[in-house]
Structure formats: structure tokens, C-alpha cells
Amino acid sequence: MQWNWETVTWAAVALLLFAAETMAPGAFMLWLGFAAAAVFLIVLVVPGVPVLAQVAAFVLLSFVSIQVYRTWFRGREPRSDRPTLNRRAEALIGRVVPLERAIVNGHGRVQIADAFWDVTGPELPAGTVVRVVASRGMSLLVEPAV
């Protein structure tokens, strides 16, 4: 266990990468930082590792740390409290509106706010109150609201 320019360099790189992550949260400096920290530990514990091997380990560990995050932590991310943000059609699911144009051959139209939406569903006359149950691409799936 010795402090030489290699260990100091890797420690500095790791810290700089962590700092860069906090400054510009792009979420990829962090993995490189973890890899640099791991290489620092290796160099610290096992002296005399060639520089090429150190760099190779750094690159490899970067991908490993990403993979570790993907497999272990991805499913535990907190859910967004607004999952329908920027999903205009999905945000309308559950809305109850009158049909502006009758559903003929499976296609009709409703007006929600200022926009007109194509709807698909069972044959219903204009004016029937329907509930949006799903979004199908550019149109909404509706069923009669009881």
C-alpha cells in the first residue's frame, strides 16, 4: 500500500467525475466515477499494475457499473407522480364527454377542451355520453358511460 502518482491520479479522476456529475447531471459521469474509484482501490491494494491494464480495467468497470445499475437498481427507481406528462392521449383516460359526432363504422369524434379527438368504439348516436378507456395511437377508445 503506497501513495504514488498513479493512485493519486485515479482518486482525482474519480472525484472530478463525481463533481462533474453534480455540476451537469447527465447521469453518465457517475458510472465513470465509480469505475475510476474501483481502479484507484485496485492500484492502492495491488501495486505494480501496468498503466495499460489500469486503463483497460477502468473502461471495463465503467460498463460493469452501468450493467450493475441496470440489473439491480433500474426496477427500484421512484415512479413519476405524473406518469401521463407529455402524453396527451393517455392523460384523457377516464374523461367522460358527450359524443360530438356519432360513431359510425367504429369512428366518431369528441371535443375535449379545444381539440377534436377521433374516437373508436361501439355504434352510438351523437350526444351520447362516453368514457375514454384507452388511447389507440391518435384516437381514443371509448365506451358508453352509464
Partner 1 sequence: MGLSAVLSVVLLFAGVVLVLKAVRVVPQGYEWTVERFGRYTHTMDPGLHFLVPIMYGVGRKINMMEQVMEVPSQDVITKDNAVVKVDGIVYFQVLDAAKAAYEVAQLEVAILNLVMTNIRTAIGSLDLDESLSKRDEINAKVLVAVDQATHPWGLKVNRIELKDIQPPRDLVDSMARQMKAEREKRANILEAEGHRQSEILRAEGDKQAAILAAEGKREAAFREAEARERLAEAEAKATQLVSDAIAAGNVNAINYFVAQKYIEAFKALAEAPNQKFVMMPMESAGVIGSIAGIAELTKEAFDRQPPRVVPPPPRAGG
Q: Which of residues 68-107 bind partner 1 (CB under 8 A)?
A: 70, 77, 85-89
In whole angstroms, how close is the CB of 52 to partner 1 at the nearest point?
5
In whole angstroms, how close is the CB of 58 to partner 1 at the nearest point?
7
Stretch that binds partner 1, among 4-12, 37-45, 108-116, 123-131 (CB under 8 A): 108-116
Closest to partner 1 by CB, 64 or 145: 64
Closest to partner 1 by CB, 63 or 127: 63
Closest to partner 1 by CB, 87 or 146: 87
Q: In this structure, how many other beta carbons lie within 10 angstroms of the beta carbon of residue 120?
A: 16
Cα–Cα dist 118/110, whole Å: 7
Could you say whether residue 116 binds partner 1 (CB under 8 A)? yes
Cα–Cα dist 87/91, whole Å: 6
Closest to partner 1 by CB, 1 or 78: 78
Work out the burial of residue 126: count CB atoms within 10 Å of its CB; fewer than 13 is exposed, 13-18 middle, 19 or more buried: middle
Q: Indicate which single residue of 10, 34, 40, 58 sits in contact with partner 1 (rule: CB under 8 A).
A: 58
Work out the burial of residue 4: count CB atoms within 10 Å of its CB; fewer than 13 is exposed, 13-18 middle, 19 or more buried: exposed
The SS3 assignment for 102 reads: strand
Q: In this structure, how many other beta carbons lie within 10 angstroms of the beta carbon of residue 82?
A: 9
Could you say whether residue 48 binds partner 1 (CB under 8 A)? no
Which residues make beta-bridge pairs with 117? Answer: 110
What is the contact surface with partner 1 in residues (CB under 8 A)?
Answer: 26-28, 31-32, 50-52, 54-56, 58-59, 62-63, 66, 70, 77, 85-89, 113-118, 137-138
